[in-house]
Structure 1
Amino acid sequence: MIEKIKQRIEDLKNQINDWNRSYYEFEVSPVDDSEFDKTIAELISLETQYPQFLTQDSPTQKVGGSVDSKFTKYIHKSPMLSLSNAFDDNDLRTFDNQIKKSLENKKYSYVVEPKIDGLSISLIYKNTKLYKAITRGDGIVGEDVTDNVKMISSIPKTISNNSDYFEVRGEVYLPKLEFERINSERFKVGEKLFANPRNAAAGTLRQLDPQIVKDRNLDIWIYFLMNKENILTHNESLKVLSEYKFRVNPLSIKTEDIIGVIKIINSLSAQREDLEYEIDGIVIKVNEFDHYDSIGYTSKFPKWAIAYKLPAEIKTTKLLDIFPTIGRTGKVTYNAKLKPVKLAGTTVGAATLHNSSFIIDREVRVGADVRVKKAGDIIPEVISVVKDENYNSLPIWSEAKNCPDCGSILQRIEPEVDQYCENDFCARRIIRGLEHFVSRDAQNIEGLSIKLIEKFYEKNYVKNPADIFKLSKRKDELIKLDKMGERSVDNLLTSIENSKNKSLEKLLFGIGIRHLGKKSAFILSKKYRNIDSLMNLSEEELSEVRDIGPIVAHSVVNWFKKETNRSIIREFKDLGINLEYKPAMEEKSHADITNKTFVITGTLSKSRNYFKDLLISYGANIANSVSKNTDYVLAGEEAGSKLDKANKLGVRIINEEELLNII
């Protein structure tokens, strides 16, 4: 029984960490808030009941995400903490009782304010001028996005306070109307839609081009003053912030007790749809600053504040149509056209229906009413079909037989449930493939949007990945294109030129071999070192490679068999594209490390990626979890559950000093 509980805790931690990684590092919300909150609540409950399994690496003990390497790191003077959650009135009363207990019946009050669904930011002023703007990051270290923040017109660039250090904290957000405008423009030109206003704000603020930030009209609410000298309450500090011309939310309200808190929450909840910005909850803070130390903190959040989470919104609307679209590998995705409905503050008119099995299993029919919920995407999730008196008279849906773009007969490869367009010359497949080739995890060619790819394809400038590297010969033609100009063309051509030197695994992933992901591309690149060694391998040889199964082996061999693909590789060579594996560090070998499997855990003196690259340079394999096949666990401080499992399995545990001694 106890082992099952321990395993459940590990499973929950791994799931939440994966979701957090998607949310903070890639601005993607893989699940809706209610599912995330439910999973976190279960983990907290189990860790409370079984404290022997509570570790410092648990997501319940951490704040925020990681720091993007493209930005300068900045250590927060005071940690930017998160907030614990309340889901109903009972949770609020429990919170209030804990405050009473901590303060031993001293007088206190509350301030209630909307919880903006945006990106937390710290603004630092020195001698009246805006000095730094720092994202939350992991709560301890954030990203310096000062140049971008200066593009937000509502943020004061100077204030009437000449302190050496003056810090305020707030939430950068994208207004609903701006979000709809931007997504509408992206939809018209075929660019990927932003998931939601929060992801759009985060993605915008982390752009390398400040002009993009300016064009997207971000805004901000300031919610906390760090310089609290001679100020007694949070409510008073908000007035001071207003005097300094910071935007302070007018819906922040002071109340004397928890009954007042609940009334305000009900009132704010009723206004949610009418607000010009998204909120995902309501924040309750103890008003009196001198109580904060008495009430205390955890490693993750202050005990004097809590966030009331608003429930997910479900709406019913009519399904107007179902239509297929084609992706880069030829895979068919079915989409729903909906009668526009306002859902969680934004108007939505489309949903993904995944594949035909999804539609058939749910008995979805065009013309039926469907229940939709805004999940992690702006594209809502169809929860169920309303089977009313008209339902049975509606025609039963059947899957498409032909590609909607090129007309080719769609294929299904057993045992896969998905249909595929197998025509290598399908225009939509080619365009989506080019979009993937230039993406961040592949060649990372900045400035080459799908809008430009479509334009270049229509003008016959680019028909395959190799053509991208020939665009420098068309510089004069590119400059004449609408909305290009010499500067943007120069930036694009520079990005293309720089991408020529990337390591083989980036290109191998980018060329879009079906089933070949980033990890498999890295494994094959590291083992075979260059494209020529890979091109003539058999399925049997590839299947024997560790972590490369028969499905991936079959796809790789089939891709290289096609003369059109081999021709592109030859063009890459002629164009000077690097087709060899380039390790992050000089490679060496060591009997105790080469071909050994390592798991890295805990806090180390340098980033985990540093130690990962170091071990890979000696030929080690890196795994994410400890098993009987693990040879070493490299453990730093607060190593947690992986250390426990290593001890149980008898896996050798080493620290940094021991690793360096081995090397």
Structure 2
Amino acid sequence: MSSVGKSAGSVSGAFPDVAVKDLDEDQAGAEIARLTEEVEAADRAYHTLDAPEISDAEYDALKRRLAEIEARFPQLKSPESPTEKVGAPLAEGFAKVRHEVRMFSLANAFETEELTDFDERVRKYLNLGKDAALTYTAEPKIDGLSLSLRYERGRLVQAATRGDGETGENVTENARTIGDIPHHLSGAPDVLEVRGEVYMSHADFGRLNERQEKAGEKTFANPRNAAAGSLRQLDPRITAERPLRFFAYGWGAASEPLAETQFDAIGRLAEFGFSTNPLTRLCDGPDALLDAYRTIEQKRATLGYDIDGVVYKVNDLGLQRRLGFRTATPRWAIAHKFPAELAWTRLEAIDIQVGRTGALSPVARLSPVTVGGVVVSNATLHNEDYIAGRDAKGNPIRDGKDIRVGDWVQVYRAGDVIPKVADVDLSKRPEDAEPYEFPKTCPECGSEAIREDGDAVRRCTGGMICPAQAVEKLKHFVSRAAFDIEGLGGKHVEAFYEKGWISEPADIFTLGDNHGDELRQLEGWGEKSAANLFAAIDMRRRIPLNRLIFALGIRHVGESSASLLANDYGTWEAFEAAMTSARIGEGDDWKRLTNINGVGDVMATSLVTAFHQEAERASIDRLVSMLEVEPVVRRGPVESPVAGKTIVFTGTLEKMTRAEAKARAEALGAKVAGSVSARTDLVVAGPGAGSKAKEAERLGVEMIDEEAWLALIGG
């Protein structure tokens, strides 16, 4: 069997089974492109659509591998990498709220040793010895939806989701319906933003699904989805009917401090009337943190609500301020995630799904089994090597055990819908079970399915003649991060494709002229709904450059990569001309393309190839002829005395550590270099400054001490 529907697991990739240490630069570039695309798709599904398609554990593994590759190949890391982002784009329908204080996500830890590493990083940054007193808080990590509540003079005036960290959705009226959220606070600062997690208990979730089923409505996959979907209802009356709860765990803007420590500040929130987690405790080091983790993990099954780990935070708020933030995460906190939950079940069938890039992705169809409180019946099998029990280099995985239809298989998940097959019980294998033969032809169009050297995936060569690829490309084109045409979803795309009304993106913009009368006659459509769709299509004739590039669906070009390309070329005309004249591996246009930070040879080859394939290029030209492509609006520089300057720190700094100084300078728009050159604008020299100070004197570079530096940047 085959399917042209939604992929049931991670997108197959280039070198997923090759250890990071064994990747060369080209392979690393391909892996970064693959992982970026998968993480961004997962972010949109989880944060924007409240409909996650992969498990927490699988998502964490993708993001961690991406971070490891970026750390080993820093020259390939994009400034737009998802490892530097929080959340995902906002859903439509809600007013936007800009957070006065940004809402950050947390870095993750998975192994016990990482707790010691976290403690050592904090101490090193603060210049604290290993024996210096340093306490932390430990609290359960609630699996729900982040919410920020703004109170002014004790009155709730605004509630907003996290969104992308800087801008969230205004859900004030919905939040007012949640019993755990006070409408008025007594004794609170004049301005206080309380932050926490909206969630749903297991018992309430079960009763909600029973009501949904009796009413003939769709049931929810898990409590997190139910909570997120309930809070983000456009009609607050629906939210009021849902049994939502709220745990407070932090704060944003505050007109005066709540306390001197994290633990005492949480105590103040409890005094104001908020529910705070009773399992929160103080810990005096890694051993105590691990003890708290084990205690909370043991109680996990009896809590009555979902948690997926334990959060550790530096207790002293003054030290938190000194530690500050990385691009997307605080230095003073980390989330220690629980391992994935496991279950055994029967593998009933293996289906092949064909994606928009032609990748043949195997999906396990399982006898339904409950894993972590959710009934699952599908799992990803990744690729043919994974089924055969080997990695991309031919080395055995699962001790070389292959996966066969009829096998008793172990699956795991960590809070979401689609699990992975982890192991096989050979003692229960049916005698007539045959090794799985991975198809060499596309199950959709019959074209040859080839596997290129170095690629873990077998791909259909049919291109747009393959209905699966054509439909998936069209779905990608209308997706939220691409053209985002209201009223034109995946099911509509499938229906219009099957009727022969659309076969490429340009056809969408002639749909009204060519098939308007026919559409109005379809069941479920009428004059008004058809007019609304055609109006929505016309609204997208004007499109930002980055969205257009992403919407083209070129392999290895994800949302972040499209932004990089748009920012570099600025206009469609410049981008199109460069891709047209570029030749793979040679010439100035190729050099410029591959010199963009975050664009490697693999992505560049894919781009240039797309613009030089006659059929694909003709399709692109037909589309663009119907559009007005908006050029990139350049952002102004950060306003500060050191914005745009290159700074070098040398010698011993007495008021802050070198890491703090570097982070502060970069936050103010400066570039921090490790050596002095003619391009250096300023050297900050402390006691013990040596060769760098001498080089600054020789070159005539301005040099100041730490006091002058602090005065320059405002303390």
Query: Which TM bucket (shorter chain)?
Result: 0.5 to 0.7
Task: Tell me whether 1:278 sits opposite 2:306 in the alignment.
Answer: yes
Give the deviation of 1:316 after TM superposition. 2.9
Q: 1 CA distance for matches of 2:192 and 2:287? A: 35
Deviation string 1:420-448 (CA, Å, 9 cap, x unpaired) is xxxxxxxxxxxxxxxxxxx9x99x9xxxx
Give the deviation of 1:297 after TM superposition. 1.7
Give the deviation of 1:76 after TM superposition. 0.9
Match of 1:124 among 136, 139, 150: 150
2:410 partner letter? R
Q: Tell me if the contact between 1:116 and 1:171 (Cα under 8 Å) persists in the aligned partners.
A: yes
Provide the secondary structure at the position in 1 that maps to 2:313.
Answer: strand
Task: Tell me whether 1:296 sits opposite 2:324 in the alignment.
Answer: yes
Deviation string 1:107-165 (CA, Å, 9 cap, x unpaired) is 21011000001111111111111111111111111111100111111111111035331
Provide the secondary structure at the position in 1 that maps to 2:198.
Answer: strand
Flag the 1:102–1:518 CA change in 2: closer, same or farther, 3 A: farther
Provide the secondary structure at the position in 2 that maps to 1:225.
Answer: strand
Give the deviation of 1:370 after TM superposition. 4.6
Provide the secondary structure at the position in 1 that maps to 2:38.
Answer: helix
Give the deviation of 1:529 after TM superposition. 4.5
Task: Tell me whether 1:64 sits opposite 2:70 in the alignment.
Answer: no
Could you say which residue in structure 2 is the equivalent of 1:110?
A: 136
Task: Tell me whether 1:371 sits opposite 2:397 in the alignment.
Answer: no
Provide the secondary structure at the position in 2 that maps to 1:151.
Answer: coil
Give the deviation of 1:188 after TM superposition. 5.2
Q: 2 CA distance for matches of 1:8 and 1:163? A: 49
Could you say which residue in structure 1 is the equivalent of 2:399?
A: none
Provide the secondary structure at the position in 2 that maps to 1:112.
Answer: strand
Provide the secondary structure at the position in 2 that maps to 1:512.
Answer: helix
Give the deviation of 1:351 after TM superposition. 1.6
Could you say which residue in structure 2 is the equivalent of 1:512?
A: 495
Q: 2 CA distance for matches of 1:88 and 1:71? A: 39
Flag the 1:76–1:531 CA change in 2: closer, same or farther, 3 A: same
Aligned length: 499
Residue pairs, 1:165-564, within 5 angstroms: 165-187=191-213, 191-226=217-252, 227=254, 229=257, 231-316=259-344, 338=368, 341=370, 343-344=371-372, 346=373, 348=375, 350-352=376-378, 362-365=403-406, 370-374=409-413, 377-378=416-417, 386-388=425-427, 392=430, 415=446, 509=492, 512-513=495-496, 522-527=505-510, 529-532=512-515
Q: 2 CA distance for matches of 1:382 and 1:261? A: 32
Provide the secondary structure at the position in 1 that maps to 2:203.
Answer: helix
Q: 2 CA distance for matches of 1:586 and 1:31? A: 30
Q: Tell me if the contact between 1:29 and 1:376 (Cα under 8 Å) persists in the aligned partners.
A: no
1:199 partner letter? N
Deviation string 1:42-62 (CA, Å, 9 cap, x unpaired) is 211122222222232001111
Could you say which residue in structure 2 is the equivalent of 1:656?
A: 633
Q: Tell me if the contact between 2:162 and 2:169 (Cα under 8 Å) persists in the aligned partners.
A: yes
Flag the 1:3–1:123 CA change in 2: closer, same or farther, 3 A: same
Deviation string 1:59-115 (CA, Å, 9 cap, x unpaired) is 111111112231111111111111111111111111111122223234210110000
Could you say which residue in structure 2 is the equivalent of 1:14?
A: 37
Task: Tell me whether 1:93 sits opposite 2:116 in the alignment.
Answer: yes
Task: Tell me whether 1:164 sits opposite 2:147 in the alignment.
Answer: no
Q: 1 CA distance for matches of 2:598 and 2:176? A: 43
Q: 1 CA distance for matches of 2:101 and 2:327? A: 12
Provide the secondary structure at the position in 1 that maps to 2:208.
Answer: helix
Could you say which residue in structure 1 is the equivalent of 2:160?
A: 134
1:65 partner letter? A
Q: 2 CA distance for matches of 1:152 and 1:26? A: 21
Provide the secondary structure at the position in 1 that maps to 2:194.
Answer: strand
Q: Tell me if the contact between 2:135 and 2:314 (Cα under 8 Å) persists in the aligned partners.
A: yes
Flag the 1:61–1:223 CA change in 2: closer, same or farther, 3 A: same
Flag the 1:383–1:179 CA change in 2: closer, same or farther, 3 A: farther
Flag the 1:526–1:648 CA change in 2: closer, same or farther, 3 A: closer
Flag the 1:187–1:154 CA change in 2: closer, same or farther, 3 A: same
Identity %: 29
Flag the 1:179–1:520 CA change in 2: closer, same or farther, 3 A: farther
Provide the secondary structure at the position in 2 that maps to 1:530.
Answer: helix
Deviation string 1:360-391 (CA, Å, 9 cap, x unpaired) is 995444xx8553323674475665654446x5
Q: 2 CA distance for matches of 1:267 and 1:25? A: 33
Could you say which residue in structure 2 is the equivalent of 1:153?
A: 179
Q: 1 CA distance for matches of 2:34 and 2:95? A: 34
Q: 2 CA distance for matches of 1:252 and 1:189? A: 39
Q: Tell me if the contact between 1:374 and 1:381 (Cα under 8 Å) persists in the aligned partners.
A: yes
2:196 partner letter? G
Q: Tell me if the contact between 1:179 and 1:197 (Cα under 8 Å) persists in the aligned partners.
A: yes
Match of 1:568 among 521, 525, 531: 521
Give the deviation of 1:532 after TM superposition. 3.5
2:509 partner letter? K
Match of 1:641 among 576, 598, 606: 598
Q: 2 CA distance for matches of 1:283 and 1:112? A: 6
Q: 1 CA distance for matches of 2:341 and 2:500? A: 35
1:203 partner letter? G
Q: 1 CA distance for matches of 2:241 and 2:162? A: 23
Q: Tell me if the contact between 1:505 and 1:525 (Cα under 8 Å) persists in the aligned partners.
A: no
Q: Tell me if the contact between 2:308 and 2:414 (Cα under 8 Å) persists in the aligned partners.
A: no
Q: 2 CA distance for matches of 1:575 and 1:76? A: 38
Q: Tell me if the contact between 1:602 and 1:640 (Cα under 8 Å) persists in the aligned partners.
A: no
Q: 2 CA distance for matches of 1:52 and 1:334? A: 38
Q: Normalising by the residue count of structure 1, what TM-score does the alignment of the two structures yield?
A: 0.63
Residue pairs, 1:557-636, within 5 angstroms: 568-569=521-522, 577-578=530-531, 580=534, 583-585=537-539
Q: 1 CA distance for matches of 2:91 and 2:495? A: 25
1:269 partner letter? E
Q: Tell me if the contact between 2:520 and 2:526 (Cα under 8 Å) persists in the aligned partners.
A: no
Q: 2 CA distance for matches of 1:112 and 1:371? A: 32
Flag the 1:160–1:374 CA change in 2: closer, same or farther, 3 A: same
Q: 1 CA distance for matches of 2:219 and 2:504? A: 27
Flag the 1:657–1:246 CA change in 2: closer, same or farther, 3 A: closer
Bigger mean CA offset, 110-119 vs 196-205: 196-205
Bigger mean CA offset, 157-166 vs 252-261: 157-166
Deviation string 1:540-584 (CA, Å, 9 cap, x unpaired) is xxxxxxxxxxxxxxxxxxxxxxxxx88934995778843856654
2:633 partner letter? E
Could you say which residue in structure 1 is the equivalent of 2:64?
A: 41
Match of 2:104 among 81, 84, 90: 81
Q: Tell me if the contact between 2:496 and 2:502 (Cα under 8 Å) persists in the aligned partners.
A: no
| Structure 1 unmatched ranges of 5 or more | 325-332, 397-411, 417-438, 445-501, 536-564, 659-663
Q: Tell me if the contact between 1:73 and 1:142 (Cα under 8 Å) persists in the aligned partners.
A: yes
2:515 partner letter? D
Provide the secondary structure at the position in 2 that maps to 1:282.
Answer: strand
Flag the 1:248–1:568 CA change in 2: closer, same or farther, 3 A: same
| Structure 2 unmatched ranges of 5 or more | 1-23, 352-362, 389-401, 435-442, 448-474, 584-588, 612-629, 636-715
Flag the 1:517–1:289 CA change in 2: closer, same or farther, 3 A: farther
Q: 2 CA distance for matches of 1:570 and 1:352? A: 32
Could you say which residue in structure 2 is the equivalent of 1:26?
A: 49
Q: 1 CA distance for matches of 2:309 and 2:320? A: 22
2:413 partner letter? K
Q: Tell me if the contact between 2:54 and 2:418 (Cα under 8 Å) persists in the aligned partners.
A: no
